[in-house]
Amino acid sequence: MRFSSIFAVLSGLAATVAAGAVSYPRPDIYSKSAHFSLRVNGEQMYTVSYDRYDYVHLSMDTGSPTEFRIKAMTESKINSYRISPMNLPIQAKVEGQELIFSLKQAHYLIVKINDRKEFVIMIDPKETDVPKERGDGIFNVLDYKADNTGKTLNAGIQSAMDAAGKKPGSIVYVPPGLYQMGNLVLRNRTSLYLAGGATLRFTGNAKDYKKYFKKGDLYDATWWISTEFDSQDIKIYGRGTIDGNGKNTRDNKYMAKLVVPAGTKNFRFDGPLVRDGSFWAVTPIQVTGCYLTNIKILDRFDVSQNDGIDVIESTRVTVRRAIAIANDDSFSTKTWLEDYGQTVPYPYRPRELRDVTFEDCLAWTFCYGYKVGQGVHELQENVVFKDSVVYKAGVGIGIHHLFGTAAANKVTFENIDIEDLAGSPGGRATWLAIWIREGLKRGVGPVTNTLIKNIKARKQGAKNGFLSGWNSTVKVSGVTFSDVYMNGASKPATTLKEMNLDNANHTFTEGIKFANTK
């Protein structure tokens, strides 16, 4: 249904509602893109100027066509463009400075026009479970003295959370506004709802936070938003923003993991935008049952070790519909040593990692798009990366078995489109790297039963692909290649050579098989 656009006034901040689309107000601390504007069904969306890319976040009705018009404001005309994922059936046309297309489904897109910075368009489906601002079981942070003007450091959100924790099943409601926030501990069986236009911001100053650990090669660090240990049924949802203020934090020689579900069961994250991490941004640690969806992580390219999502020592985890843009790895899994730097605050003894699935994800990184490792100190088993896309990466997909003696067993990469490669993390620059090495005398362990299936590698990388065990007892054993299409080939590869894996370093591997179906 089409209706004329209206402006909904929410606590003094306007969310723009176009026919079928909602744009979220931009806090004053951000400025709009100087390069791009976006109209959706005729209505201007709130764009944000950022690091090497600008972005916009909106939600839309799905099922019927919605028109997108990107205006490249600095360009007299559009000579070239790329819309990623390239495998989407998007028919775009150019009219002068505008790139126009229509979508029926919500997608996360990276749009490159001429040689300008990228424009990241994050489209979510409309929210379906929006809570009331107040009511039975709803704790509005403004009723707990939260400052939504961004002027003072907030204790109000934790106060509302602590009150909610006394009544299991409650929701902490954060209305639009800017909140400078200290550590937040999410209580057992509560939900944190961030309305579109609500921005939680990390101050960047160590004095405002509890020290959780020190990382030897970097700085003291905190967990910004974490769960109570031994908790369950905690949820973070909505369309607000969690802003790690990471560049400033690192300039202050401090850092934070931003969203840390740890020692909890049945955790859910649905919808908020996470930006500017100063270290690994979203890290489920020793979680059993975890569902992260409609999750957007926009890190900067000038902050190191700012991985997107790192799943650590957790079981039954699904990451579905995600975009992670980061200097370091976009999506990875790890098992680590006890009481070692960043693991000091972990709730339990080291645990195995099992049954972790990443699907419908979009990666952009100078390191690995999709990776198991580094850190295989406990077994990692049944990790699946599927139906996903690499916009650009140093290494598209891989297993980097560095640190630890346990096995990485049954890792599957399936239906992955590697669009582009650039950079060379750890000397690798390739679509695929599976390798075992020893680091810091922390041992070596095997990689077993890997499946590489239905992969499109549009680029092979500046260096050789890499398939390499450690020695005759610690090997990469059992790698099955099924339907790997290299460099736009119409037929799947049938030899290592065709996949650029035919070099001296497929040493100490065994059981390499082809199982093409096409």
Ligand X SMILES: *[C@@H]1O[C@H](CO)[C@@H](O)[C@H](O)[C@H]1NC(C)=O
**Binding of residue 462 to ligand X (CB under 6 A):** no
In the complex, the smallest distance separating the C-beta of residue 471 from ligand X, rounded to whole angstroms, is: 4
Backbone angles phi, psi at 90, to 5 degrees: -100, 125
Burial of 493 (0-12, 13-18, 19+ CB in 10 A): buried
Q: Which residue, 202 or 470, has its beta carbon nearer to ligand X?
A: 470
Q: Give the total of residues touching ligand X (CB under 6 A).
A: 17
Contacting range for ligand X; rule: CB under 6 A; set: 75-83, 125-133, 323-331, 464-472: 464-472
Instruction: Describe the strand order of the beta sheet including 36-40 as a list of residue ranges.
Output: 43-44, 36-40, 66-72, 98-103, 93-95
**Binding of residue 190 to ligand X (CB under 6 A):** no
Q: Which residue, 185 or 379, has its beta carbon nearer to ligand X?
A: 185
Contacting range for ligand X; rule: CB under 6 A; set: 54-62, 378-386, 448-456, 466-474: 466-474
**Binding of residue 188 to ligand X (CB under 6 A):** yes
**Binding of residue 231 to ligand X (CB under 6 A):** yes
Q: Within 10 A of 514 (CB to CB), how many other CB atoms are there?
A: 16
Q: Which residue, 264 or 365, has its beta carbon nearer to ligand X?
A: 264
Q: Which residue, 309 or 501, has its beta carbon nearer to ligand X?
A: 501
Q: Which residue, 196 or 373, has its beta carbon nearer to ligand X?
A: 373
Q: Within 10 A of 199 (CB to CB), how many other CB atoms are there?
A: 27
**Binding of residue 470 to ligand X (CB under 6 A):** yes
Backbone angles phi, psi at 299, to 5 degrees: -95, 170
**Binding of residue 455 to ligand X (CB under 6 A):** no
Q: Residues 130 to 149: which contact ligand X by CB under 6 A?
A: none
| Residue 69 identity | R
**Cα distance between residue 322 and residue 342, in whole Å:** 25
Output the CA angle 355-359-360, nearest 5 degrees. Answer: 170
Contacting range for ligand X; rule: CB under 6 A; set: 388-396, 453-461, 485-493, 497-505: 497-505
Q: Residues 34 to 53: which contact ligand X by CB under 6 A?
A: none
**Binding of residue 505 to ligand X (CB under 6 A):** yes
Q: Which position among 285, 390, 408, 444 is part of the footprint of ligand X (CB under 6 A)?
A: 444
Q: Which residue, 209 or 470, has its beta carbon nearer to ligand X?
A: 470
Q: Which position among 120, 256, 274, 474 is part of the footprint of ligand X (CB under 6 A)?
A: 474
b/e string for 22-40 if b means 16 or more Cβ within 10 A? bbbbbbeebebbebbbbbb
Q: Which residue, 445 or 478, has its beta carbon nearer to ligand X?
A: 445
Closest by Cα among 247, 181, 250 to 209: 181
Structure tokens at 272: 């908020």
In the complex, the smallest distance separating the C-beta of residue 102 from ligand X, rounded to whole angstroms, is: 47
Helix (H) or strand (E) holding 413: strand 408-418
**Binding of residue 80 to ligand X (CB under 6 A):** no
Q: Which residue, 363 or 474, has its beta carbon nearer to ligand X?
A: 474
In the complex, the smallest distance separating the C-beta of residue 190 from ligand X, rounded to whole angstroms, is: 10
Q: Are 329 and 126 in contact (CB under 8 A)?
A: no
Structure tokens at 359: 């699907």
Scanning the structure block, which residue is given the tokens 């077994």?
379
Contacts with 263 (C-beta within 8 Å, 6 or more apart), sequence order? 227, 228, 229, 230, 231, 285, 286, 287, 346, 347, 348
Which of helix, strand or coil describes residue 163? helix
Q: Which residue, 74 or 507, has its beta carbon nearer to ligand X?
A: 507
**Binding of residue 496 to ligand X (CB under 6 A):** no
Indicate the pairing of strand 273-275 with strand 288-298.
Answer: parallel
**Binding of residue 503 to ligand X (CB under 6 A):** yes
DSSP assignment, residue 439? -
Contacting range for ligand X; rule: CB under 6 A; set: 195-203, 333-341, 386-394, 470-478: 470-478
**Binding of residue 5 to ligand X (CB under 6 A):** no
Q: Which position among 26, 116, 117, 189 is part of the footprint of ligand X (CB under 6 A)?
A: 189
**Binding of residue 509 to ligand X (CB under 6 A):** no
**Concatenated DSSP letters of 255-321:** EEEEEE-BSEEEEEEES-EEE--SS--B--BS-EEEEEEEEEEE--SSSTT--SEEEES-EEEEEEE
**Binding of residue 472 to ligand X (CB under 6 A):** yes
**Cα distance between residue 378 and residue 1, in whole Å:** 53
Structure tokens at 389: 């896309």
In the complex, the smallest distance separating the C-beta of residue 230 from ligand X, rounded to whole angstroms, is: 4
In the complex, the smallest distance separating the C-beta of residue 449 from ligand X, rounded to whole angstroms, is: 20
**Binding of residue 4 to ligand X (CB under 6 A):** no
**Binding of residue 479 to ligand X (CB under 6 A):** no
**Binding of residue 510 to ligand X (CB under 6 A):** no
Contacting range for ligand X; rule: CB under 6 A; set: 229-237, 280-288, 311-319, 386-394: 229-237
Q: Which residue, 448 or 503, has its beta carbon nearer to ligand X?
A: 503
Query: What residues make contact with ligand X under the rule CB under 6 A?
Result: 188-189, 228, 230-232, 438, 444, 464, 470-474, 503-505
